Amino acid sequence: MSGPNTDYDPVEVTPLKSEEVDASRDAALAAIAAATDLAELKQVRIDHTGDRSPLALANREIGALPPQARKEAGQRIGQARGAVNQALAARQAVLEVEHEERMLVEETVDVTLPTDRVPAGARHPVTTGSELIADIFVAMGWEVAEGPVIEAEWLNFDALNLGPDHPARTMQDTFWTDPPEDHLVLRTHTSPVQARTMLTRTPPIYVVCPGRVFRTDEYDATHSPVFHQVEGLAIDEGITMAHLKGTLDHFAASMFGEGINTRFRPSYFPFTEPSAEVDLVCFVCRGAGVLDGAPCRTCRGEGWIEWGGCGVVNPRVLTACGVDAERYTGFAFGMGIDRTLMFRQGIEDLRELFEGDIRFTTAFGTEL
């Protein structure tokens, strides 16, 4: 910067001539307008507003003017610089928008590319199905009870009124541990959990017991030596078959949809009396037995699906398990979880459940 020079004729300071300032301003504005991207604009900014730009240099010369000339020159330069800065900002904004738009276009990817780097896991439908059932009952205030699969013979049979000569106790039906004199079996049903619950708790009792059970069945599309059952037990004052019906209707509707209820047929189970088999309104044809003019495949045209067994807990069972049979009554029910899943999910072959093929299991995800 030059020092003040009183001898200096302001008119002779070339950069401060008004035509010079206007020319610098116009050159800057033209360059700004001509800048086509942010990099160019950056250069324009340096060239026209930087320390070495004509307007900056001119500005520096103001101090060299006699005081009387400074004001006017300052105004002129200030206006010119203001115009340039304004134009720069405006151009910057425009170019930024353009830049962003361009970037967004340039960064476009093919979003249909596969993204399955880590394959999805899944939980077994028997697990999630058991949870679904448990949740339905927990929502009614029931609890989930469990017991061991290798079970005492007394709990699996005797306590449930399956006497020593009951046909189910033969080697043909039941897995026994070796030697059989140890009186241990692979539980043939989840009912010993009922017995355990009654033996270790006091009424009122409302429990469901999902679990794995064993029978020496052939292994085919509808039978398996290892399968899963859910058992329900309610012991309270004044419990009747009507409560059993109400509970199963609610269960059916929760599991299969509103309007799907149950019917009872007389049957026989040693641990219940009266006993009934439970049929479920076919949730596919909704009881019609026919679907699209052909017999319904799910219920084989019956309109009903056999679902399980149930009944009023035999007072002999209550007595053996320490429940006051004079004061309390109860109901119990049991159904196959695998079977229920088979018709609910349309699984054709029971063995698919136990083969461990990931294509089967992953189809069900982590919740049913």
Partner 1 sequence: MKAPVSWIREYVDLPDGVTTEDLAARLTALGLKLEAIEKPGDQITGPLVVGRVLTMEPEPQKNGKTINWCTVDVGEANGTGEPQGIVCGAHNFAPGDLVVVILPGGILPGNFEISARKTYGHLSAGMICSARELGLGDDHDGIIVLPADAGEPGQDAFEVLGLRDEVIEFEINPDRAYALSLRGVAREAALAYGAPYRDPAERAVPAANDQGYPVVVDDPVGCPVFVARKVTGFDPAAPTPDWMVRRITQAGMRPISLAVDVTNYVMLEIGRPIHGYDADKLTGPIRVRRAREGERLTTLDGVDRALSVEDLVVTDDSGIIGLGGVMGGETTEMSATTTSVLVEAAHWDATSMFRTGKRHKLTSEAGKRNERGADPTVTEAAADRVVELLTTHGGGTVDPGVTVVGTPPRQPSIAMAYDLPARVTGMPIDAAVTVTNLEAVGCTLDKGDTGVTATPPPWRPDLTDPFDLVEEVARIVGYDQVPSVLPREAAGRGLTREQRLRRRVGRTLAGAGCVEVISFPFVGDAAFDALGLPADDVLRRTVRLANPLSSEEPSYTTTLLPGLLKAAARNIGRGAGGVSLFETGTVAFPVDRGPAPIYGVDRRPSDSELAKLFEAIPEQPLHLGVVLAGERERAGWWGAGREAGWADAIGLVRRLGTELGVDVEVVSAARMPWHPGRCAQVRVGGVELGHAGELHPKVCQAFGLPPRSAAVEIDLDLLMQHARDVTPGPDFSTYPLAKEDVALVVDAAVATADVEAALRAGAGDLLESIRLFDLYTGDQVGAGRKSLAFALRFRATDRTLTEEETAAARDAAVALAAERTGAVRRS
Contacting partner 1 within 230-289 (CB under 8 A): 234, 236, 238-247, 249-250, 261, 263-268, 273-277
Q: With binding defined as CB under 8 A, does residue 13 bind partner 1?
A: no
Residues 6+ apart with CB under 8 A from 144: 134, 137, 138, 207, 208, 209, 210
Which residue among 19, 106, 107, 181 contacts partner 1 (CB under 8 A)? 181
CB 264 within 8 A of CB 310: yes
Q: With binding defined as CB under 8 A, does residue 144 bind partner 1?
A: yes
Binding mask 189-208 for partner 1 (x = CB under 8 A): ----------xx---x-x--
Q: With binding defined as CB under 8 A, does residue 67 bind partner 1?
A: no
Taking the C-alpha atoms of residue 74 and residue 72, their distance in angstroms, rounded to an integer, is: 5
Nearer to partner 1, 40 or 158 (CB): 158
| Number of chain positions touching partner 1 (CB under 8 A) | 100
To the nearest whole angstrom, how small is the minimum distance from the Cβ of residue 297 to partner 1?
A: 19
To the nearest whole angstrom, how small is the minimum distance from the Cβ of residue 221 to partner 1?
A: 16
Q: With binding defined as CB under 8 A, does residue 132 bind partner 1?
A: no
Binding mask 80-119 for partner 1 (x = CB under 8 A): ---------------------------------xx-xxxx
Residues 6+ apart with CB under 8 A from 34: 40, 44
Structure tokens at 136: 């339905």
Q: With binding defined as CB under 8 A, does residue 124 bind partner 1?
A: yes
Binding mask 285-324 for partner 1 (x = CB under 8 A): ---------------------------x-xxx--xxxx--
Structure tokens at 91: 């151009």
Write the burial class of residue 226 (CB in 10 Å: 0-12 exposed, 13-18 middle, 19+ buried): middle
Please state at what angle helix 241-256 crosses helix 125-138, rounded to 10 degrees: 130
Contact set for partner 1, span 22-61 (CB under 8 A): none
Which residue among 216, 286, 289, 301 contacts partner 1 (CB under 8 A)? 216
Q: With binding defined as CB under 8 A, does residue 138 bind partner 1?
A: yes
Nearer to partner 1, 8 or 176 (CB): 176
Taking the C-alpha atoms of residue 283 and residue 290, their distance in angstroms, rounded to an integer, is: 12
Strands 205-214, 226-236: pairing is antiparallel
Q: With binding defined as CB under 8 A, does residue 161 bind partner 1?
A: yes
To the nearest whole angstrom, how small is the minimum distance from the Cβ of residue 189 to partner 1?
A: 16
Q: Is 168 helix (H, G, I), strand (E, B) or coil?
A: helix
CA angle, 279 then 169 then 341, to 5°: 30
Q: With binding defined as CB under 8 A, does residue 351 bind partner 1?
A: no
Taking the C-alpha atoms of residue 353 and residue 295, their distance in angstroms, rounded to an integer, is: 27
Q: How many residues does the chain have?
A: 368
**Best CA proximity match to 206, nearest among 253, 142, 276:** 142
To the nearest whole angstrom, how small is the minimum distance from the Cβ of residue 293 to partner 1?
A: 20
